[in-house]
Amino acid sequence: MATADRTASTVWEGDLAHGNGTLSLTSGATGDLPVTWASRTARSEGRTSPEELIAAAHASCFSMALSHGLSEAGHQPQRLEVTATVTLDVDAIKVTSSQITVRGVVPGLDSDGFAQAAQGAADGCPVSGALKGNLDITVDAQLTEA
């Protein structure tokens, strides 16, 4: 079975409320990313959070899945703009949802077809599969003009 492993690591110093961490991606795609409790729960101030990284993974995975699904159905997408918003319930300390918003330019496809393709991508994206059953995933899909 072919597999693809991706690795990230974090060094954390101090307690939860006052400490901070540095997240590194072994791919080298970004420099070190600072992370703090405050960046998760209050203000990001140039720092990231696990929830933002989940959102990034979900948005990029979804865009690939949608592009593939549309192309396979004979509707080559011209442009897809995908945003994922991952919500952390601070009181429960639980990730509760990922809301995907997609705006697309897909010549020859109607709104219903685009909405169906978007739902298929949400169901078929591997990151959605990892999240499914643990949080609510919603999709807001609309066609736009070039």
The model's pLDDT over 47-77, given as tens digits with 9 standing for 90+, comes to 999 999 999 999 999 999 999 999 999 999 9
Please count the other Cβ atoms lying within 10 Å of the Cβ belonging to residue 133: 7
Backbone angles phi, psi at 75, to 5 degrees: -125, 85
Backbone angles phi, psi at 125, to 5 degrees: -65, 130
Q: What is the CATH number of domain 50-143?
A: 3.30.300.20
Delimit the domains of the chain by residue range.
Answer: 8-41, 50-143
Identify the band that residue 93 occupies on the pLDDT scale cut at 50, 70 and 90. Answer: very high
Beta strand residue intervals within the chain, DSSP E: 8-13, 20-25, 33-35, 79-89, 94-105, 136-143
Residue 45 has pLDDT above 90, yes or no: no
pTM (predicted TM-score):
0.93
- Nearest-angstrom CA–CA distance, 65 and 96: 22
Section 74-101 average pLDDT: 96
